[in-house]
């Protein structure tokens, strides 16, 4: 029996860190992956691109909101939070440092290392005559028909520049055919044009040679301005506020409102200007003025202004030794020789740990449900599924076969709105019941319910998961999923769908905790129960794995549990506003972050509960939006065998990861000293669940 820790010390400093700085701290850990020479070279390049993609969304959403708060004079919701002006200033300072280090790493380490491997990105000065001739022909044939140069004069004002598009600002001198004397022009690169061009072997026989679209445009842009003298051409890119504005109190048709709002995303307020290094000061000031930005919003980059587009390069290069080794996801033993999935599920619950275990059986489950004549109804939530989803095709097929198909489509899944609108239309065309969730609440729960006639009764089969119904991300994200025919759980999921599609009061379910109704209170009760056990001198332990931790009441409950003597181990991939290890506040809390080959995405909540060991998997992070503005589900794992698997694979393995990052009280992270031969949690799970053949 442990001795409870009691303290009279009261912590008087800031109890919460700024979430925006937490996001930047996460991206610093992503950059560290790109800097880690133990990571395969092309994967290091991929991590650099992931960082750029992350920063794009960070500026489009988080920084845009900060700037809006500053402009409108709005403070944050809580009095003890820093002023938006202060947070924005710190965000700008740290973002500039992060981007500078990103490009230093690209130019000083990644590009030279790729060159030594025979993979080169050629600047114009490096082209030989044959390569120049090939690229000129490519420019005339593939690019000129799509380009529209815009000379700036009173009849041609500064054009509308699309969010995150590639553009050239051109400095000119001379008069055109109409006698106009404009000294500035803009050339926008159409999004259809590939940003990375691979030279054919006949002009690049000595290895793989790539040329960036920017280089080709800069080399030959003079052909678009005949008779004019090109003084200089300077790539730039503007990032805009991409959050959608929908007045939910005024919406009568969410689908129509969203269709009207989506096109405006490309033209929101400017929040960041990226310009290639070497751009003259007067051009920088001209562009800043056009986009109504300040010097703090300007990012001078020594290289491509859009590193995200280099993400395709590792897939273009067939060099396995420069990438993570391939693996073959395993299939749970219960399904290895089980053509009838319904029979296999009836024998016992089946747990999946993706991507180490295959997502294919989940697809097969829906395939069998769609074609099985005894299946009478299918209900599924859709958050992210992709533009070419086999799962959606099976739902369409099921509806065509006359089954009752109900799909709750979340139209406001950020940056997946257009794909979800398309699938909603296709489902409606074949007679499926399509519901767009509940206005004001995103449907984020991952649930699939199949109703099958077996003899004289109807039996329910359920799949629930911490991740999306997206086959591609199931190979990249770590998630847990469960297939079950448990009667009580089937009834709960059916009730959850009734609440989503119909009307009526919410009521407590038998097993599931459902946000926004019972999840937050249920988690608070579990944390407080551990506090009571600790105060009684009993062993008390909380382990929670999630993407983000920012919800204040849960953090306050964790602080109180720490003061009561509860051992608290948190595995938080991304932003965390809790301060760990602070005497008098959180000395019993440790926060670990694991960044690796796969994106950590599973949410697992463990409470010792005086030896009963309560384990839940969930779609929800510990954020206000997940607890109060989303439909989320937490599923208790009751099978002792599966519970032990989740504790071992999803929690203990990560806590023992000797390559993980430990969060410090000030919000910074320190990596554990890496010993020779150390393997990260993901490598251990690959060896356990998907061993090399």
Phi, psi of 348, deg, nearest 5: 165, 155
Q: How far is CA 51 from CA 23, 304, 322, 334, in A?
A: 11, 14, 19, 39
Other Cβ atoms within 10 Å of 433 Cβ, number: 15
Is beta strand 567-572 parallel, antiparallel or unpaired with respect to 589-593?
parallel
Tabulate helix, strand, coil % of the chain (nearest 5).
40, 20, 35
Give CA–CA dist 118/17, Å, rounded: 45
At residue 442's C-alpha, the angle toward residues 437 and 448, to 5°, is 60
Total residues belonging to the chain: 693
The dihedral built from the CA positions of residue 163, 167, 171 and 176, taken in this order, carries a sign that is: negative
The two structure tokens encoding residue 460: 């329910």
Distance (Å) of CA 95 to CA 88, 92, 247, 496:
10, 5, 32, 42
List, as own/partner pairs, every contact residues 589-593 make where C-beta atoms lie below 8 angstroms and the sequence separation is at least 24, other chains included. Answer: 589/558, 589/559, 589/562, 590/662, 591/549, 591/662, 591/663, 592/654, 592/655, 592/657, 592/660, 592/661, 592/662, 592/663, 593/26, 593/29, 593/660, 593/661, 593/663, 593/669
What are the beta bridge partners of residue 434?
A: 407
Which residue is associated with the tokens 């031969």?
Answer: 677
**DSSP string of 448-480, one letter each residue:** EEEEEEETTEEEEEEEEESS-S-TTGGGTEEEE
- Under DSSP, is residue 655 helix (H, G, I), strand (E, B) or coil? helix
- Contact of 411 with 385, CB cutoff 8 Å: no
On whether the CB atoms of residues 350 and 377 are closer than 8 A, the answer is: no
Alpha-carbon span 384 to 445, nearest angstrom: 11
Start-to-end Cα distance in the chain: 46
CA 32 to each of CA 519, 661, 682: distance values in angstroms, whole numbers, following the listed order: 35, 11, 17
Dihedral sign, Cα of residue 73, residue 77, residue 79, residue 84: negative
Could you tell me the two tokens for 366?
């829906």
- The torsion angles phi and psi of 535, rounded to 5 degrees, stand at -65, -25
CA 138, CA 194: separation in Å to the nearest integer?
Answer: 12
Specify whether 444 is catalytic: yes
Please pick, among 353, 354, 444, 601, the residue that the annotation labels catalytic: 444
DSSP string, 235-272: EEEEEE-------TTT-S-HHHHHHHHGGGGGGS-EEE
User: CA 689 to CA 464: how far, in whole Å?
Assistant: 20
| Burial class of 141 by CB neighbour count within 10 A (0 to 12, 13 to 18, 19+) | exposed
What is the pairing mode between strands 119-121 and 208-212?
Answer: parallel
Q: What are the catalytic residues?
A: 444
């Amino acid at each position: 029996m442990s001795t409870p820790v009691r303290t009279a010390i009261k912590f008087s400093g800031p109890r919460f860190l700024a979430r925006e700085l937490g996001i930047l701290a996460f991206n610093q850990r992503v950059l560290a992956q790109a800097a880690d020479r133990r990571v395969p070279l092309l994967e290091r390049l991929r991590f650099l691109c992931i960082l750029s993609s992350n920063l794009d969304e960070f500026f489009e959403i988080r920084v845009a909101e900060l700037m809006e708060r500053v402009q409108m004079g709005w403070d944050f919701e809580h009095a003890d939070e820093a002023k938006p002006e202060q947070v924005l200033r710190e965000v700008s300072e740290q973002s500039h440092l992060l981007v500078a280090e990103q490009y230093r790493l690209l130019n000083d380490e990644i590009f030279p290392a790729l060159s030594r491997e025979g993979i080169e990105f050629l600047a114009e000065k490096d082209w030989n005559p044959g390569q120049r001739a090939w690229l000129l022909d490519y420019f005339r044939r593939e690019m000129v028909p799509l380009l529209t140069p815009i000379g700036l004069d009173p009849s041609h004002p500064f054009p509308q520049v699309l969010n995150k598009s590639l553009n050239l600002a051109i400095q000119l001198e001379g008069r055109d055919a109409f006698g106009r004397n404009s000294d500035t022009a803009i050339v926008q690169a159409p999004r259809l044009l590939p940003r990375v061009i691979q030279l054919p072997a006949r002009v690049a026989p000595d290895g793989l040679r790539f040329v960036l679209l920017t280089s080709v445009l800069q080399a030959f842009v003079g052909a678009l301005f005949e008779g004019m003298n090109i003084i200089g051409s300077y790539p730039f890119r503007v990032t805009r506020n991409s959050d959608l504005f929908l007045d939910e109190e005024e919406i009568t048709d969410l689908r129509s409102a969203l269709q009207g709002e989506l096109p405006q995303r490309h033209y929101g307020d400017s929040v960041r200007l990226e310009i290639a290094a070497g751009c003259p000061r007067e051009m920088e000031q001209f562009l800043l003025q056009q986009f109504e930005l300040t010097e703090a919003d300007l990012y001078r980059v020594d290289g491509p202004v859009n590193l995200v587009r280099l993400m395709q390069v590792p897939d273009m290069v067939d060099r396995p030794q420069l990438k993570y080794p391939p693996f073959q996801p395993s299939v749970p033993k219960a399904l290895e020789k089980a053509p009838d999935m319904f029979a296999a599920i009836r024998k016992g619950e089946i747990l999946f740990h993706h991507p180490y275990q295959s997502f294919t059986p989940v697809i097969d489950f829906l395939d069998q449900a769609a074609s099985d004549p005894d299946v009478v109804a299918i209900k599924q939530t859709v958050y992210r599924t992709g533009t070419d989803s086999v799962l959606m095709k099976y739902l369409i097929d099921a509806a065509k076969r006359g089954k009752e198909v109900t799909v709750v489509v979340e139209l406001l899944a950020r940056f997946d709105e257009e794909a979800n609108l398309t699938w909603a239309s296709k489902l409606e065309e074949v007679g499926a019941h399509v519901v767009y969730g509940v206005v004001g609440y995103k449907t984020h729960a991952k649930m699939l319910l199949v109703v099958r006639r077996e003899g004289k009764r109807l039996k329910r089969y359920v799949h629930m998961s911490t991740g999306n119904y997206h086959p591609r991300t199931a190979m990249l994200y770590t998630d847990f999923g469960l297939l079950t025919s448990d009667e009580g759980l089937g009834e709960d999921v059916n009730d959850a769908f009734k609440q989503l599609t119909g009307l009526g009061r919410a009521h407590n379910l038998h097993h599931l905790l459902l946000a926004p109704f019972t999840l937050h209170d249920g988690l608070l009760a579990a944390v407080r129960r551990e506090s009571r056990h600790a105060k009684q001198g009993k062993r008390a332990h909380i382990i929670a794995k999630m993407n983000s931790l920012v919800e204040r009441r849960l953090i306050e409950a964790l602080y109180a549990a720490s003061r009561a003597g509860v051992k608290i181990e948190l595995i938080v991939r991304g932003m965390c506003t809790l301060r760990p290890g602070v005497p008098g506040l959180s000395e019993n809390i440790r926060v670990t972050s694991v960044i690796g080959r796969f994106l950590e995405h599973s949410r697992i909540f463990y409470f010792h509960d005086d030896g009963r060991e309560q384990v839940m998997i969930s779609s929800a992070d510990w954020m206000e939006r997940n607890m109060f503005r989303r439909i989320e589900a937490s599923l208790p794992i009751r099978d002792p065998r599966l519970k032990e698997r989740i504790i071992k694979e999803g929690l203990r393995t990560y806590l023992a990861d000797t390559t993980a990052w430990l969060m410090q009280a000030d919000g910074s992270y320190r990596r554990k000293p890496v010993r020779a031969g150390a393997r990260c949690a993901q490598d251990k799970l690959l060896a356990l669940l998907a061993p090399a053949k």
